[in-house]
Structure 1
Amino acid sequence: MTISSDGGGTPPLGARAILDVSRVTSTPAGAHALGMLAGVVLDALLADPRRGHPVALFGRAAAALERRLYGDARANGVVHVAICVGSVALLGAAAGRVRNPLARGAVSAVATWAVLGGTTLGREGAAMAAFLEDGDLAGARGRLSHLCGRDPSNLHEPELARATVESIAENTSDAVVAPLLWGAVAGVPGLLAYRAVNTLDAMIGHRNARYERFGWAAARLDDVANAVPARLTGVLAVLAAPVAGGSVRRAAAVLHRDGHRHPSPNSGRCEAAFAGALEVTLGGTNVYGNRVEHRPELGDGPKPSAREIRRSVRLARAVGFAAAGLAVFAALRG
């Protein structure tokens, strides 16, 4: 059967699709939603560049400002955070005001790509699994710094695998679900401001002599910004448990029982859900330089291995796709 585009009848399928896309992008919400979707695709295809990443550039600027503002007081840290986060939020607001629908969508796409880290997270997890599968502990120990700040010098396969799975669980929220959620509810300013908050927390939100007071504002703001995304990550990980060979019921039970036991008000929700979905035990003793932390165990079963790292990557990918779908839908509704 031939579909004709002549006359005044119904447009062919391709033309209708173009008209539908044009109709969606004609509104600010529609252009932003499709731009976010494009940004997710860009992250999947390109991941993070090794040099010149916008987040790294922000980090250098924040470090330079810290050198000028640092003082062992909460007030200094509040000013530092306000300037850093406020600046990128204003930049996002200015960029999001472009009127051309194509340009508006492009801005949202670039901003979304810049703040997402899901593809790089998955690649780092796969690299750690490969090192452990090959019995290359030296390679795995050297690679761990790409995922977390623990001292790897005395870690063996179970602890290296545990650190990797815990980092994948936490960063699925921080680097995927949270930026998408903030982008859905607050547009380009939400995307950029969230990434600024999370980056500052990683830089200065530490409980040590230098940052106990100066980093207080960054740490508390990060806790607030991640409260809802972390819990959404936990729920999505429970629902996606079968993708990693797990049980929804078991994952839900572990999340309910153990999610609140972690010292972080947010990370525990993600780690408990992943522990339940993978049927492993997370938590234990972590060493960060001269500081030792004893964390409650989350989940049941053995410690993770390289196999569980690969399963956690599959689970994180499924959670990311689900979060992207929810975020695009929410942005369209906005």
Structure 2
Amino acid sequence: MIGVAIALGVCLDTLLGEPKRFHPLVGFGRLASRLEKRLNNQENTGLNRCSGIVAVCVMVMPFPWGIWLLIDSLRAQASLSNDICILVINAVVVYGAIGQKSLKEHILPIADALSSGDRELARRLTSRVVSRDPATMNIEVSATESALENGSDAIFGALFWAVLAGAPGAIVYRLVNTLDAMWGYKTDRFQTFGWCAARLDDALNYIPARLTALSYMLLAPQPSRAWRCWMQQAHLHASPNGGPVMSAGAGALGVQLGGPTCYHGHWVDKPFLGEGASPKAADIKRAIQLVTKTTGLWVVFIVMVDLLGLLLNGVPLSSALLGLLKC
């Protein structure tokens, strides 16, 4: 039952947070950096794009394949102990794939620093979670946007693919998302090499991003405002998935996000999203609260539907959704 495994994984993350030492994604990132240095010739050619595709396959495929073989071998010999092992594997992978507590630990201190009047500390803390130039960034906007966007990327995308494909699906999503964060920049270095990671991340996030936007809207004090912002502003954003998430999230909070932003010395004229005033420290905390409530909504919904499917038809949620996708 993937619903129970997801609930357990979220509970583990809430209680433990990210591992302070020996985090698997840290080791994965180091391997990815070494591979990129070997394969990326930094030339805007089709060959370098092929190198990026090979790099993604090499980095992503072995891990979920190994987990799938392990789970398949356990399923081949049906027993209560094997079922428990499968449940534990799925729960641990979900725990490793999401980062709700880590998001809080990175974002909330920014709001606290702003509330105490220490903007320099807030600026330093914000620069750790965004790639914007620290000297010119709007701290409140940057922190609020990071909370909303990472809610989709670091939590809900992984939960969605865990529902569809269990532990292997969550692993594929998280690894691709990590590679996109490392290689998915439109710079001279990554323009072609990072193309595959960026496009694959867009594909994997297409449905989760819109479900996230829908969740933000449903939990908003004024759902109609969040819906209006989503429908009218999402297409203005450069990212096909960031647009719905950011516009619906900004509308849900009743703040205005976006605007001119400097990345690595280059100014980007980002569209304004949402309605209302520019966010304050309290709005950063409200953004985290919205993400937390959305996580709860997803977990409750997944568990309830999974249990309902088992009670009525003996078909768990993941199998039912996979059947619909195949149709």
Same fold? TM cut 0.5: yes
The 8 Å contact of residues 88 and 196 in structure 1, kept in 2 or not, is answered as no
Tell me the equivalent position of 1:126: 108
Q: How many residues align?
A: 297
Q: 2:258 is paired with a residue of what secondary structure?
A: coil
**Deviations 1:91-130 (Å, cap 9, x if unpaired)?**
2312323341111111111100000011111222211100
Displacement, 1:260? 1.7
Within the candidate set 221, 230, 235, 2:214 is matched to 235
Retained in 2: the 8 A contact 1:43–1:118? yes
User: Is the 1:96–1:108 contact (alpha carbons within 8 Å) kept by the matching residues of 2?
Assistant: no
Name the counterpart of 1:135. Answer: 117
Calculate the TM-score normalised by the size of structure 1: 0.86
Q: Indicate whether 1:193 and 2:203 are aligned.
A: no
Letter in 2 for 1:92: I
Match of 2:313 in 1: none
Kindly indicate whether residue 284 of structure 2 is the aligned counterpart of residue 305 of structure 1: no
- Distance of 2:22 and 2:120 partners within structure 1: 28
Matched, 1:112 2:94: yes
Determine the structure 2 residue equivalent to 1:180. Answer: 159
Q: Deviation of residue 329 (structure 1)?
A: 4.8
Structure 1 residues 56-205: aligned runs within 5 Å: 56-71=26-41, 72=43, 73-97=48-72, 98-99=74-75, 100-155=82-137, 159-205=138-184
- 2:229 touches 2:251 (CA, 8 Å); kept in 1? yes
Contact 2:133/2:265 (8 A) holds in 1: no
Moved more, 66-75 or 209-218: 66-75
Tell me the equivalent position of 1:265: 240
Kindly state the Cα deviation for residue 67 of structure 1 after the two structures are TM-superposed.
2.3
Q: Which has the larger radius of gyration?
A: 1
Q: Secondary structure at the match of 1:113?
A: helix
Tell me, yes or no, if the aligned pair for 1:96 and 1:188 is still in contact at 8 Å: no
* Structure-1 residue corresponding to 2:311: none
Q: % of aligned pairs identical?
A: 36
User: 1:207: Cα distance to partner?
Assistant: 0.4
Q: Any stretches of 5+ residues in structure 1 without a counterpart?
A: 1-29
Distance, in Å, in 2 between the alignment partners of 1:51 and 1:215 is 28
Alignment match, 1:43: 13
Where in structure 1 do 4 or more consecutive aligned residues deviate above 4 Å?
none
Which amino acid is the alignment partner of residue 224 of structure 2?
R
Contact in 1 for aligned 2:257/2:272 (Cα 8 Å): yes
In the TM superposition, residue 37 of structure 1 has moved relative to its aligned partner by 1.4
Counterpart of 2:208 in structure 1: which amino acid? Answer: P
The residue that corresponds to 1:295 in the other structure is 270
Counterpart-to-counterpart distance in 2, 1:33 and 1:268: 29
